[in-house]
Amino acid sequence: MAYQTTTKQQRIKPFRVICWRRKQAENAQGLAPVMFEIKFNGQTKTVHSGIYCKADELITKEFAVLGNNPATQLLQSMKSDFEKAFSKVSLSGEMIDLGRISDMVMKQAGYVDKTPLFREVLEQLVTRYREQTGKITTKGTLKAIITAQYRLHDYLRDSGKWNIRLAEIKPVFVSDVITYMQSKKGYSKNYANKVIRVAMQVLNHAEDAEWIPRNPLRNVRLKHERVNIVYLDEKEIEQLKTYHLHNDTFDLVRDGFLFQVYTGLAYTDMTNALIENLTTIDGMPCLRVKREKTNTPCLIPLLPPALALIEKYKDWPFCKHYGRLIPTITNQKMNNYLKEIAGICGISKHLTTHVGRKSAATFLVNNGVSPVVIQSILGHSSFTTTANHYAVTMEQTIVREMNDLAKRKFPTMKT
C-alpha cells in the first residue's frame, strides 16, 4: 500500500480561538483588556472583547472571568460565534479571511467601530509636536512631521481612504503608501520611509490610547536604500575658491558655501551663527553652536580659510547689526545661485547648501581627521551618519594608508 506523505508546508493548521489579557495596557486599577485571537493556517486576527479584568481573574483555557458570570458568558458565546462563522465560510467554499470572520461576529454582537479616523489621530500627533517645539523637539522636526502629514493626506485622498479608521489599517498599508509615493509622486524610497515612520508614530499613539489592541505596523522593517553622496573634492573646492566671479551676489553666495565647507555647518546653523558664539580654546579660535535640527552641541575649531571669511565680513552693516558671522540670503535663492556658479566655474555637480556640508565631511575624512572628531564637529547624533562619509571615500583612504605602510616598512623597495 502506498502512503502519501504531507510536507510541513502542505499541512493546514486548524482554526483556533484563544483569549489573553493585554497586560501592557493595564490601568491604575490593575484592569487590562481581554483580547480574542483567532488563528488559521498562518493568519492571525486580534479582536478586543470589550471586557477588562485583573491579572488573576482570567482563566484562558475556559474563557472565564472569576467572579463575573456575565463576562464569562460573553467570552464563551463569542468563542462559539467565531467557530460558527468559520464553519459557515469554510462550508461555502470561499477563501478564508479572518478579517471577514471577525467582522461577521462583531457585527452580530452589535459592535460598531468607534475607533478614530487615521487622519484625526495624525492631526493629534502634529498638535503634540507643535506644543513640544522649542522644549523637547525642534522647528526642523515639526516641519518634517507637517510635511509628512501633507503626503499622507495626498495618499488618503487619491486612494479613496480619506475616512479610513485605525482598525482598518493592515500591514499592506506600508507597501501601498511607498508605491504611491514612488510611482505617482516621484519621491525616493528613503523619503517614503520617512513618511511611513510618521504613520507608525500615529499607530503607536493609538495603541497607547487603547483605540486599537495592537499596532499593525509593529513588525514592519523598512529597508534604507544607499544613495550616492554628492560632494566636492579638494581640487573642485580650490577651483571654486579661485575662480574670478564678476558678480557681488555670486561672491557672497560662494563665500557662504565655502564657509560651510570649512566648518561643516548646515545652512540654518550658518545663518544662526553669531559673533558671541566665538571662543578660543588652547589658542585656537573655535565656534560653539547647537544644531538646529538635532539640538546637538558642536565645537568647531576654525581653519584659516573660515577665519578669513569671518574677517572679510565683520564690518558689513548686516553682520554688525545682527551680530552674524556671515551674511546670507534665503536657502532657496542660495541654491539657485549655486547652480549658476557651478556652471560658470566648470563644475558638473549639482551644488546646494547641503553639498557644502557633505563636502566638509569628506574633506575632513580625506585629511585624516578621526571619526569621533568629525562626528562632534558635524553634530551627528548617530555615528552611522558619519560612517557613511567614510564609506564614500574608502578607496582613497585604503590607497593612502597602504601607501604609508609601504613607505614605512619597505623604504628601499620601489612601489
Task: Give the domain ranges of the chain.
Answer: 16-108, 118-208, 234-402
CATH value of 234-402 in 3.30.565.10, 3.40.50.1980, 3.50.50.60, 1.10.443.10: 1.10.443.10
Digits of tens for pLDDT over the chain (415 positions)?
A: 344 444 444 566 789 999 999 887 787 788 888 989 999 888 888 888 888 899 899 999 999 999 999 999 999 999 999 999 999 888 888 888 888 888 888 877 766 556 788 999 999 999 999 998 878 787 778 889 999 999 999 999 999 889 888 878 888 999 999 999 999 899 999 899 999 999 999 999 988 887 887 788 888 888 877 767 788 988 999 999 999 988 899 999 999 999 999 998 989 899 999 999 999 999 899 999 888 777 778 888 999 999 999 999 999 999 999 999 999 999 999 999 999 999 999 999 999 999 998 888 888 888 888 778 888 888 776 656 656 655 555 566 677 778 888 888 887 766 5
pLDDT of residue 368: 80
Q: Are strands 278-281 and 284-290 parallel, antiparallel or unpaired?
A: antiparallel
Nearest alpha carbon to residue 357 among 323, 394, 388, 325: 388
Nearest alpha carbon to residue 243 among 255, 231, 233, 232: 255
pLDDT of residue 77: 92
pLDDT of residue 394: 56
pLDDT of residue 43: 82
- Please list, residue by residue across 253-276, b when 16 or more beta carbons sit within 10 angstroms of its beta carbon and e when fewer do: bbbbbbbbbbbbbbbbbbbbbeee
pLDDT of residue 8: 47
Residue 29 CA to residue 23 CA, distance in Å, equals 12
Phi, psi of 285 (to 5 degrees): -65, 135
pLDDT of residue 102: 85
Q: Cα 355–358–361 angle (5° rounding)?
A: 155
For 41: left if phi > 0, alpha if psi spans -120 to 50, otherwise beta; the answer is left
pLDDT of residue 251: 94
What is the pTM assigned to this prediction?
Answer: 0.59
C-alpha cell at 194: 520617512
